[in-house]
Amino acid sequence: MLVLDFQLIQCRMGVIGQAAVQRSIKVSLKFATVAKRYRLAALLSEVQSCTQRYIDYLWSNPGWLDAKTLNRVGGGSLSYRHRSNCLKVALETVSSTRKAAKATGVEASCPHVSGAVRLSSLVAKVEPGKGTFDYVLKVSGLIKGEPIVVPFKSHKQLNYWLEKPSAKLLQGCTLGDGWAALWIEVPDGNLKPGRAIAVDIGVNKLLVDSDGNQYGLETKAICARVRRCKSGSKGKLRARRARRDYINQEVKKLPWDAIGVIGIERLKDLKRGRRPARGKTFRKAMAPWTYRVATARIEMLAAENRVRLVVYDPRNTSRECPVCKTVSKDSRRGERFCCVGCGHAADADFVGAQNGLARTLQILGSVWSPRRRS
Ligand SMILES: [Zn+2]
């Protein structure tokens, strides 16, 4: 059944053209003078509080990206452009929070702005630099007509993406304390054909794929070693490095040459701990860090191997029976899955990966089906 579906998808992939992916790459703003750093910090805090005021307003009132909504809230010392940017970010934040709440059935509370802020091309521009600096970041500041201009240097990771054919550096940035993240648009390129697999990222095994192969069986022990080391010690650094190397090595073992599509769990849900069934021990043993590293590695190898990456919603993947589709918490017994509906029994992570594959194929179908698009 799944094989048949996938052949259809292969045809569809040929029909629809190339898509682009956006990446954000962090650069250090340490070359800014002290005065500029102060100005950036002042701007950051103004933008944060203005965005928060819009979010507070939009949380209980309807609003749009227009002058009427813009003037509902005082902008402090921010320019019109900055306020428009804040309103745009606030609208997106409120709408995505509501969507997430609806999808998970969890009641959401008004989002709180902290940390970095997004600055659109209206207020932040990246231009070629002079001399030893590769680029300059121009951010319109709190004083009219006096932009904050910060030179910065490129680095290995930024060059890696910019050297890709048809990669485009987008205008705007995410501004943090002492750093900025730039946005790069990279075309997906010519993806190679091949069958699809999905992986489940887990605690006892780092990865289980939808063929039933297991990778990273020592992950738990290696993570435990990191936790045992005294924080700040050299041993801790060593253990962390060993953990990173181990994850990289295991992700590399996936059948990259043979596949054309790989499905992974959407990370957002994991970071916020939306898998209550797995409990505290699980979250402790598999810090979000491990997920991020494993996912980032999969993303990178997928790009290198021209494999299409599909991100699926992980909700209930470990509770749904791949045979009869019964969803029940009782089907999961630790490492084992035993369906309460039909008695189907298998490794729980393997079941997760199989359900992941079904969702991956579903997503591919809905994205690439020309019929459903119209
Ligand atoms: Zn069943």
Q: Is 156 left (phi over 0), alpha (psi -120 to 50) or beta?
A: alpha
Over residues 277-298, mean pLDDT: 68
Q: Answer whether residue 13 shows pLDDT above 70.
A: no
pLDDT band at 297 (very low <50, low <70, confident <90, very high): very high
pLDDT band at 105 (very low <50, low <70, confident <90, very high): low
* Predicted pLDDT at 267: 64
Q: Which of 268-272, 274-278, 329-333 has the highest mean pLDDT?
A: 329-333
Mean pLDDT of the 225-248 span? 91
**What separation in Å is there between the alpha carbon of 327 and the centre of ligand 1?**
8
How much distance in Å is there from the Cα of 314 to the middle of ligand 1? 18
Is residue 169 pLDDT above 50, yes or no? yes
Residue 291 Cα to ligand 1 midpoint, Å, equals 29
Residue 2 reports pLDDT greater than 70: no
pTM > 0.85: yes or no: no
pLDDT tops 60 at residue 34 = yes
C-alpha 338 to ligand 1 mean position (Å): 8
- Per-residue pLDDT at 75 exceeds 90: no
H, E, C per residue of 167-178: CEEEEEEEECCC
In single-letter form, the type of residue at position 26 comes to: K
For residue 331, how far is its CA from the centre of ligand 1 (angstroms)? 9
Q: Residue 340 Cα, ligand 1 centroid: separation in angstroms?
A: 7
How far apart are the CA of 337 and the centre of ligand 1, in A?
10
Please give the distance, rounded to the nearest whole angstrom, from the Cα atom of residue 334 to the centre of ligand 1: 17
Cα 345 to ligand 1 centroid, rounded to whole Å: 8
Cα–Cα distance for residue pair 224/247, rounded to 1 Å: 14
Q: How far is the CA of 201 from the centre of ligand 1 (A)?
A: 22
Which of 77-91, 107-121, 135-149, 360-374 has the lowest average pLDDT? Answer: 360-374
Three-class SS string for the chain?
Answer: CHHHHHHHHHHHHHHCCCCEEEEEEEEECCCCCHHHHHHHHHHHHHHHHHHHHHHHHHHHCCCCCCHHHHCCCCCCCCCHHHHHHHHHHHHHHHHHHHHHHHHHCCCCCCCCCCCCEEECCCCEEEEECCCCCCEEEEECCCCCCCCEEEEECCCHHHHHHHCCCCCEEEEEEEECCCEEEEEEEEECCCCCCCEEEEEEECCCCCEEECCCCEECCCHHHHHHHHHHCCCCCHHHHHHHHHHHHHHHHHHHCCCCCCEEEEEEECHHHHHCCCCHHHHHHHHHHCCHHHHHHHHHHHHHHHHHCCCEEEEECCCCCCCECCCCCCECHHHEECCEEECCCCCCEEEHHHHHHHHHHHHHHHHHHHHHCHHHHC
Could you tell me the distance, in angstroms and rounded to a whole number, from the CA of residue 322 to the centre of ligand 1? 7
